[in-house]
Chain A
Amino acid sequence: SAVISQKPSRDICQRGTSLTIQCQVDSQVTMMFWYRQQPGQSLTLIATANQGSEATYESGFVIDKFPISRPNLTFSTLTVSNMSPEDSSIYLCSARQGEETQYFGPGTRLLVL
């Protein structure tokens, strides 16, 4: 199994600012993902983070708002740009190695004022 850590675990930010969330996996993985979980809701996939190339975004999410980096097989970052209160959510990093089970990080709880 993969152990995934995220930083920060939570933050309170002012509208108009940006926050970068880091995700570290304890082993090399082929696929990394970023999800958003709004209060009381299920998970929504933001994008698949591709190593060495641009992330693949789901419908409704764009690179300008959620730029993603993945410089190697164990690390990724998600930036939430120009934040508004509607961006208040839990952001979850997830990883999968080949056909193995998909694992999740503990999440980053973001509150935008």
Chain B
Amino acid sequence: GNSVTQMEGPVTLSEEAFLTINCTYTATGYPSLFWYVQYPGEGLQLLLKATKADDKGSNKGFEATYRKETTSFHLEKGSVQVSDSAVYFCALIINFGNEKLTFGTGTRLTIIP
């Protein structure tokens, strides 16, 4: 089956620190990969995505590169802000149509001033 494994949280960083949240996957085919973010008290928002190997998704200073050789999609940001405090979910989908998103467990990130 398909699965997503995320870095265990919670993660606490100081403002302006470098962020990496690890995500690896197993999949029966060639997935599209996503990072979603859930700010406190809100629903999920798409942060970035990549649909094929070596693609880099980026948004709001966050980046993630689809690495087929290591089956990974690690999320990075060079300098985090307090406003980045949220829960981050890595997810995959094999084929659109009737396939369903598979989510990781989520990583809670707290940035302290």
The answer to whether A and B belong to the same complex is: yes
Q: How many residues of A contact B (CB 8 A)?
A: 23
What's the tally of chain B residues with a CB closer than 8 Å to chain A?
A: 19
Does the CB pair B100–A104 fall under 8 Å?
no
B49 contacts across to A, CB distance below 8 A: 101
Residues of A within 8 A of B44 (CB): 43, 92, 104
- CA–CA, A6 and B104, complex, Å: 24
Q: Within 8 Å of chain A (Cβ to Cβ): is B105?
A: yes
Note all chain B residues with C-beta closer than 8 A to A19: none
Contact with A along B94-105 (1 / 0, CB 8 A): 001110110111
Known: A42-B89, A43-B89. A101 touches B106 (CB 8 A): no
Is B42 an interface residue, CB under 8 A from the partner? yes
Contact A92 B43 (CB under 8 A): yes
Give the chain A neighbours of B93 by CB distance below 8 A. Answer: 102
Residue-wise, chain B 25-65 has the 8 Å CB interface mask toward A (1 for contact) of 00000000010100000111110010000000000000000
Chain B residues in contact with chain A, CB under 8 A? Answer: 34, 36, 42-46, 49, 89, 93, 96-98, 100-101, 103-106
